[in-house]
Chains A and B, each alone.
Chain A
Amino acid sequence: MSPMARAWRWFKEHLVLGLGLLVLVYMFVPIAVVVLMSFNNPGKSKNVYAFKSFTVHNWTHACQPAGMCHSVVLSLGIGLLATVIATIIGSMAAFGMVRHEFAGRSLANTVIFLPMASPEIVMGSSLLALFVATGFGGHLGFWTILIAHVMFCLSFVVVTVKARLTGLDDNLEQAAMDLYANERETFWRITFPLALPGILGAALLSFSLSFDDFIITNLNAGQSTTFPMFVYGAAQRGVPMQVNVVGTVMFVIAITVVLGNEINNRRQARALATG
């Protein structure tokens, strides 16, 4: 290979990587803006879409905007409950589908795929139509939001856990059975620990979907206000800078959890390789 070709090849290899990294940078620009704006002091100016001067006031007085922290608490509560319920019943369904035989498998697959393939506005309006038709139209609030969130998180849990389970070597389970472990022991000592990373990933995904949802929630919330609904309402009048504090904190927590997990995985892999 001539030096020219070599140089061309080097350029081409790094061109794709460079372009990919540019796309990633693009994905992070708005987040950088959120972090930056959490330190913004808009002063008397009505224009909340420009950085004026630096302050930590938004961080020290995070709960100043009326109703904001209340909406965050509501979102956290619904997020946690929806995550627990969806993760448990979704993982059960995934185990059932991968590890047991039953008729109607393709029907089950379709029903689980459909919520991911429906526009949120359609799912939200159908649920609202159901609540109105059954006389719950006047009782929209915490419980109707929770029902909706578990519904749209379920499919993502089933798909994530199923992917993990089908990737597992079932020889391990066979070996445990050969060594006279009964079904229950095999499940709790072999299958479940191996599936756990998939289940935790599904839980994390559920929580972020629930905490972030606006379209379905807005239709089924009644008088309750979740954090995304608070931001949407505020956007019509002028956003308090404190919403960026909430965004920054959520981002930092999530990144810490995910990166911590990644570092832990690397350490374990290294320990296995050397040990």
Chain B
Amino acid sequence: MARPGSKRYTGYLLLAPGAIWLGLFFVIPFYSLVSASLFDPNGSVLTGYHVTYHVANFWNVIKAYHGELWRSLWYAGLATFICLVIGYVLAYAIAFKAGAWRNLLLVLVIAPFFTSFLLRTLSWKLILSDHGFVVSTLRNLHLTFFMHNGHLLNTWFAVVAGIVYNFLPFMVLPLYASLEKIDGRLIEAASDLYANPFKAFFKVTWPLSLPGVVAGTLLTFIPAAGDYINAQLLGSPSGRMVGNVIQSLFTTTQDYAGAGALSVILMAVILVMVLVYIRRAGTEDLV
């Protein structure tokens, strides 16, 4: 939408600082990461690291950590599905039922962001602890099949619950954005034409909200797959996610080659899944 008379290079000049920053500190680092993944695995901080095109790094980390990789995708997928279900209810309620309270409720959706992510996760540790009301209620109801010896903490359930909680706003906001654009008269028309509420929902509302569903699931799944805070604070040491492994390879063992290779694999797996998903969902404009 250029106005006549706008100078030809102004656009580039305005874009330049941001583009340079992202180029230097986002695009080029990817190159460094890929080359780190091809380091000689015998390098160390003292002897230096050398690119030796040591492709075996990839096989080694897959062999050693495929369990964590698979667990991350599985936890992230499950958490994304739960977020979609409860996030849809909330986004729908705000978009269609909240009336004048819409903006206030939207503010409340992002409000949890303002207490630290780590503090909120630690709160869950308290809520799910053995003395907490959740565990005692579930025990009284004999709903213990997903608990481990009557504990909730340090189980996959606690980790997935933490991920769901922490990434829910990323699901709700894009869902709301696309639900809000739907013309309510379309839904009325469907019920005028004798569609029952369920049919009206699945034939009208759901298809029209698909862009929000795609954006929301991506914005939830991707960070969730790389997250390790929830697994660290709420899970057990045997239930590590791939993020835990990458972080400890980098900071504790300083195995930059292995950590780099695992990061590249994680990114590649996510990219492939996202591309397949977008193609199947049939949407292209994400931003």
Q: Which of B27, B93, B263 contacts A20 (CB 8 A)?
A: B93
Q: A16-B89, A214-B118, A247-B115 are in contact. Are A31 and B129 (CB under 8 A)?
A: no
User: Nearest Cβ distance between residue B199 and chain A, in whole angstroms?
Assistant: 14
Q: Which of B25, B49, B98, B247 contacts A121 (CB 8 A)?
A: B247
User: Nearest Cβ distance between residue B208 and chain A, in whole angstroms?
Assistant: 17
Q: Which residue of the partner chain A has the closest CB to B108?
A: A24
Residue B157 interfacial (CB < 8 Å)? no
Q: Which of A113, A129, A183, A265 contacts B32 (CB 8 A)?
A: A129
Q: Which of B10, B29, B122, B129 contacts A126 (CB 8 A)?
A: B29
Asked if A20 and B90 make an inter-chain contact with CB atoms under 8 angstroms apart, the answer reads yes
Residue B223 interfacial (CB < 8 Å)? yes
Contact with A along B83-105 (1 / 0, CB 8 A): 00011011011101110000111
In the bound complex, residues from chain A placing their C-beta under 8 Å from that of B168 are 23, 27
Asked if A183 and B287 make an inter-chain contact with CB atoms under 8 angstroms apart, the answer reads no
In the bound complex, residues from chain A placing their C-beta under 8 Å from that of B27 are 111
Asked if A121 and B32 make an inter-chain contact with CB atoms under 8 angstroms apart, the answer reads no
Residue B19 interfacial (CB < 8 Å)? yes
Which residue, of A50, A96, A155, has the highest number of chain B Cβ atoms within 10 A?
Answer: A96
Q: Which residue of the partner chain A has the closest CB to B111?
A: A255
Q: Which of B13, B35, B94 contacts A133 (CB 8 A)?
A: B35
Residue A84 interfacial (CB < 8 Å)? no
Taken together as a complex, chains A and B put the C-alpha atoms of A20 and B270 apart, in Å, by 31
Taken together as a complex, chains A and B put the C-alpha atoms of A228 and B115 apart, in Å, by 11
Taken together as a complex, chains A and B put the C-alpha atoms of A33 and B30 apart, in Å, by 39
Residue B62 interfacial (CB < 8 Å)? no
- In chain B, positions 1-53 with a C-beta closer than 8 Å to chain A are 1-3, 5-6, 10-15, 17-19, 21-23, 25-30, 32-33, 35-36, 45, 49
Q: Which residue of the partner chain B has the closest CB to A244?
A: B119
Asked if A31 and B115 make an inter-chain contact with CB atoms under 8 angstroms apart, the answer reads yes
Taken together as a complex, chains A and B put the C-alpha atoms of A113 and B222 apart, in Å, by 13
Interface of A is mostly: helix
In the bound complex, residues from chain A placing their C-beta under 8 Å from that of B49 are 132-133
Residue A148 interfacial (CB < 8 Å)? yes
Q: Which of B2, B30, B223 contacts A100 (CB 8 A)?
A: B2
Asked if B228 and A122 make an inter-chain contact with CB atoms under 8 angstroms apart, the answer reads no
Asked if B18 and A218 make an inter-chain contact with CB atoms under 8 angstroms apart, the answer reads no
Contact with B along A111-134 (1 / 0, CB 8 A): 111111111111101111110110
Q: Which residue of the partner chain A has the closest CB to B37?
A: A129
Asked if A212 and B22 make an inter-chain contact with CB atoms under 8 angstroms apart, the answer reads no
User: Nearest Cβ distance between residue A181 and chain B, in whole angstroms?
Assistant: 12
Taken together as a complex, chains A and B put the C-alpha atoms of A247 and B112 apart, in Å, by 10
In the bound complex, residues from chain B placing their C-beta under 8 Å from that of A235 are 118, 122, 233
User: Nearest Cβ distance between residue B108 and chain A, in whole angstroms?
Assistant: 6
Give how many A residues have a beta carbon under 8 Å from the other chain's beta carbons: 97
User: Nearest Cβ distance between residue A208 and chain B, in whole angstroms?
Assistant: 5
Q: A125-B260, A214-B117 are in contact. Are A151 and B26 (CB under 8 A)?
A: yes
Q: Which of A12, A183, A211, A258 contacts B197 (CB 8 A)?
A: A12
User: Nearest Cβ distance between residue B117 and chain A, in whole angstroms?
Assistant: 5
Asked if B114 and A255 make an inter-chain contact with CB atoms under 8 angstroms apart, the answer reads yes
Q: A96-B11, A113-B286, A218-B247 are in contact. Are A148 and B109 (CB under 8 A)?
A: no
Q: Which residue of the partner chain A has the closest CB to B226?
A: A119
Asked if B36 and A173 make an inter-chain contact with CB atoms under 8 angstroms apart, the answer reads no
Contact with A along B229-249 (1 / 0, CB 8 A): 100010000000011001100
- In chain B, positions 59-88 with a C-beta closer than 8 Å to chain A are 86-87
Residue A56 interfacial (CB < 8 Å)? no
Asked if A16 and B17 make an inter-chain contact with CB atoms under 8 angstroms apart, the answer reads no
Asked if A208 and B113 make an inter-chain contact with CB atoms under 8 angstroms apart, the answer reads yes
Taken together as a complex, chains A and B put the C-alpha atoms of A28 and B115 apart, in Å, by 11
Q: Which of A29, A93, A259 contacts B18 (CB 8 A)?
A: A93
In the bound complex, residues from chain B placing their C-beta under 8 Å from that of A214 are 117-118, 229
Q: Which of B29, B120, B165, B229 contacts A34 (CB 8 A)?
A: B120
Q: Which residue of the partner chain B has the closest CB to A97?
A: B15
Asked if A119 and B12 make an inter-chain contact with CB atoms under 8 angstroms apart, the answer reads no
In the bound complex, residues from chain A placing their C-beta under 8 Å from that of B242 are 121
Q: Which residue of the partner chain B has the closest CB to A27?
A: B112
Asked if A148 and B114 make an inter-chain contact with CB atoms under 8 angstroms apart, the answer reads no
| Chain A to chain B contacts (Cβ below 8 Å), 22 pairs | A13-B97, A20-B98, A20-B105, A23-B86, A27-B109, A29-B123, A30-B124, A31-B112, A34-B123, A96-B10, A115-B22, A116-B219, A121-B226, A129-B260, A151-B22, A154-B18, A219-B247, A228-B116, A231-B118, A239-B122, A250-B115, A262-B103
Given A112-B18, A151-B26, A214-B229: 5 more A-B contacts, CB < 8 Å: A89-B21, A117-B218, A118-B222, A119-B222, A251-B114
7 tightest Cβ-Cβ pairs between the two chains A and B: A119-B226, A20-B93, A100-B11, A96-B14, A126-B29, A30-B123, A254-B114
Interface residue ranges, B against A (CB under 8 Å): 1-3, 5-6, 10-15, 17-19, 21-23, 25-30, 32-33, 35-36, 45, 49, 86-87, 89-90, 92-94, 96-98, 103-105, 107-109, 111-120, 122-127, 129, 131, 165, 168-169, 197, 218-219, 222-223, 225-229, 233, 242-243, 246-247, 250-251, 256, 259-260, 263, 266-267, 270, 274, 286-287
